[in-house]
Each structure stands twice: as structure tokens, then as C-alpha cells.
Amino acid sequence: MIKIPEFVKNLKPYQAGKLIEELAREKNLKRIVKLASNENPLGPSLKALEAIKEALPRLNRYTDSTSYETVQAIALKYNVQPQHIICGHGTDSLLAYIINAFTMENDEILTSEGTFIGIYVNARKFGRKVVKVPLKDYAIDLPKILKNISDKTKMIYLANPNNPTGTMFGYREFEAFMAKVPDHILVILDEAYTTYASANPDYPNGVHYEYENMVVTRTLSKAYGLGGLRIGFAVGPDEVINALYKVKLPFEPNLLAQKAAVAALNDDEFLKRTIELNQTSLKMMKAKFEQLGIKQVPTMANFILLLMPDEQFAQNLYQGCLNKGLIVRHVKSFGIPNGIRINSGTVEETEFALDIIEKVYLKLKNKYQLILKG
């Protein structure tokens, strides 16, 4: 009989935000809006779609395993040496490669509680222990992370802005942190939401640092609108990037992803509209949540973390919204059991979502108050 290693038996498959198609199969709803996976509500850039169409007749060919054109486009856009860049099937894939290439059995990965679930899932896949430091006021606590470095720490994972809290650490804090991290520990700086935060003068733009023990990951799944295609990249020193090329699946990312990425990276007008829409939608949301008295964590990304009185309330709000055709994310699995995360949408989607949340929230609040009164 085949024997499955104990750590694989104990794994739980990644639970992504609920799919629109899935909810449509389950319920007979007129309209469904999904604001649960921090996707771009504008859809993909039309330039990316055009590039995909042009590339389709070449699908019989294997892809360029070095993503030459995409790497050149990234190098040009961010002023980074091409040899310091590697592309993969999204940040998720790159995180797996980073853990694969730089950790061994018994090495530990140090990170925060209440951060991107992908790091927990990828670490467990390799049987690596994750040490989690509590958040401080819903933000990543860099000084506390430093204090928790041990002989076994091999890697530190930080998301900036953080998902699901939307908080950001500034460059002074970050540089003070890096100055104290021993250089045998690799720091992963996950900048999935950089587009939404980089206008802030305090934002430490990771790709512009040259630490020998840091690798920065970026994705085209969020602001660039290509979540379904799977493409992201990592920027780091030669030694790190060379090691990642050794563990990467050779033909990843696929041809369409590589071509679409080049077009999307150069579509400045699309990115501008994305940022503007995000601001508009978040403004509408913040005003409504404030009016309803829902606690919200100040965000630097394209989503807001809402804090419910407890886990049951959050679960009920999530379910109540689902019943009416709105998909948001209950972030219990990220380590925030009373948290609901909602991302920005089009103006129409935002109006639809806020209307549903208002109805569900007020109903639940009344019920809750009745229970509290006993």
C-alpha cells in the first residue's frame, strides 16, 4: 500500500474565495457580485487581450523558459537588471519555489499572524514549520518579528501592504528592520498590492533595494487584472534568482501569460483607471461603513478589512451576503476570525454590495442586541 507522509495527510487544500460560477450553481440568484479575491473590477487590460489573441496560433510551441520579453519589460519598467528577475505562475508559485530552494527540514519560516494565507499553505506543503508573530493594531509588528528570530529561522515573510489587513509599514521601519536581520536569513517581501500603495512617500519600494538576503515578489493578478492567467515575478540578487531558476518548472509561465504581461505592464492608461476606480470605490465603502458603525482597518490596498463583534457574527454576515448574491471573504483562515474582507469594485458593484451589507448587517445587529439583552 502506498504511504502518504504524515505532513501531507495533515494538509488542507487551499480555500480560495468562492467562485461566481459556484454560487450560481448553488443558488438561483439574478445577480452575483464577487468582491472577495482582490481582483481588478475593470477586467483585464484590452491590450493584454489583444496580445493573447496574437499569440494563440503559436500555442503548439513550448514557451520561452526564461520569459525573455517579459523579463525585459519588467527590467525597463522598474529599472532592475534582467538577471535579477524571474517570472513564475504567480506569487503563489514563486513562494513555493523560494521555500523549495532555500529551506531544509527543520528550518523555520518566521512571519506574522493575519497575513497572506499562501505562505502558510506553501510552508506546510514542504513540511516546514511556520512561526507566527501576533499583529499589532492589525499591522505587521516588525520589532516583534526581530525578537522572534531563532537559530532555526531560515526565512522571514512580509507582505506590504499586508493581506488581509491592508496595512503598510514605511521605509524607515523597514530599513531599521533589515539592518538587524542576520544575513543568512532570506527575507521575502511580497508586494502584491504595490500599485495601490506606491504613491505614498513612505512606501518602501522593494525592487529598489539591493539587499543580498532579500527577494521581492510581485504579481500581475491584482492591479494588472490577470489573476486567471497566472503570472508574477521575483526580484533578487543573482544567487537567489539563479537558485530559483533551478527549481522552477521549465515552461512556466505559459506563452499567453508572458505575452499578456508585457502588454499589461505597458498599459499605463489602464493602470491609472484602476487606481482611480479603487479610490472611488473605497471612498464609497468607507463612508457607508462609518455610517453603519462597522469597524474598519485603514487600508493602503484595494480592499478593506471589516471587524465584526465576533467570529459567529462574521460568519453570519458572510453567509447573509452570499444568500443575496454578494461574495466577500471571511478571513478566519488567515487568522482573523471576526474579519470580513471586501475589495473595491466598479461603482455599480460597490452600490450593490453596500446595499446588501447594510441590510444584512443591520438585521444581524438587531438580532445580536436582542441576544445580548437576553
Ligand X SMILES: Cc1ncc(COP(=O)(O)O)c(C=O)c1O
Q: Which residue is nearest to ligand X (CB)?
A: 90
DSSP secondary structure code for residue 16 in this structure? P
Query: What is the nearest approach in angstroms of ligand X to the Cβ of residue 119?
Result: 8
* Secondary structure of residue 234 in the 3-state scheme: strand
CA dist., res. 207 & res. 214, Å (int): 10
Does 41 contact ligand X by CB under 6 A?
A: no
* DSSP code per residue over 288-327: HHHHHT-EEE--SSSEEEEE-SSHHHHHHHHHHHHHTTEE
Nearer to ligand X, 223 or 326 (CB): 223
Nearest C-alpha neighbor of 140 from the set 334, 289, 315: 334
Angle at 315 between CA 303 and CA 24, to 5 degrees: 75
Nearer to ligand X, 92 or 108 (CB): 92
Q: Which is nearer to ligand X, 103 or 112 (CB)?
A: 112
Round to whole Å and give the CA distance between 94 and 102: 12
**Using CA atoms, how far apart are residues 313 and 355, in angstroms rounded to an integer?**
18
Among 165, 167, 194, 219, binds ligand X (CB under 6 A): 219
Residue appearing with cell numbers 505562475: 89
Per the structure block, which three cell numbers stand in for 320?
447573509
* Buried residues in 272-293 as b, exposed as e (16+ CB within 10 A): eebbebbeebbebbeebbeeee
- Using the minimum distance from each CB to ligand X, give the nearer residue, 91 or 281: 91
Task: Name the amino acid, one letter, at 232.
Answer: G
By C-beta, is 232 or 236 nearer to ligand X? 232
Among 34, 38, 189, 308, the residue binding ligand X under the rule CB under 6 A is 38
- Of 93 and 350, CB closest to ligand X: 93
Of 161 and 325, which CB lies nearer to ligand X in the complex structure?
161
Dihedral angle over CA of 229, 216, 184, 10, nearest 10: -40
Nearer to ligand X, 97 or 289 (CB): 97
Using CB under 6 A as the binding rule, the residues of this chain from 167 to 196 that contact ligand X are 190, 192
Other C-beta atoms closer than 10 Å to the C-beta of 119 total 25
Give least dist CB 188 to ligand X, A.
10
Within positions 305 to 344, which residues make up the interface with ligand X, using CB under 6 A?
none
Q: Which of residues 63-102 bind ligand X (CB under 6 A)?
A: 90-92
Q: Does 227 bind ligand X (CB under 6 A)?
A: yes
* Residue among 342, 345, 320 nearest 331 (CA): 342
CB of 209 to ligand X, least distance (A): 18
Question: By CB under 6 A, which span of 19-27, 135-143, 200-208, 219-227 interacts with ligand X?
Answer: 219-227
CB of 27 to ligand X, least distance (A): 25
Asked if 159 is part of the footprint of ligand X (rule: CB under 6 A), the reply reads yes
Torsions phi, psi of 365, nearest 5?
Answer: -65, -45
Q: In the complex, what is the shortest distance from the CB of residue 135 to ligand X, in angstroms, rounded to a whole number? A: 14
Number of residues in contact with ligand X under rule CB under 6 A = 14
User: Is residue 139 a contact partner of residue 160, using CB atoms and an 8 Å limit?
Assistant: no
Min CB(328)–ligand X separation in Å: 14
Of 45, 103, 111, 221, which one interacts with ligand X (CB under 6 A)? 221
User: What is the Cα–Cα distance from 287 to 269, expressed in whole angstroms?
Assistant: 27
CB of 110 to ligand X, least distance (A): 16
CA nearest 214: which of 304, 102, 114? Answer: 102
- Pick 71 or 360: Cβ nearer ligand X: 71
In three-state secondary structure terms, 370 is: helix
State which residue, 112 or 221, has the beta carbon closest to ligand X.
221
Residue 232 within binding range of ligand X, rule CB under 6 A: yes
Q: Does 267 bind ligand X (CB under 6 A)?
A: no
Residues in contact with ligand X by CB under 6 A are: 38, 90-92, 116, 118, 159, 163, 190, 192, 219, 221, 227, 232
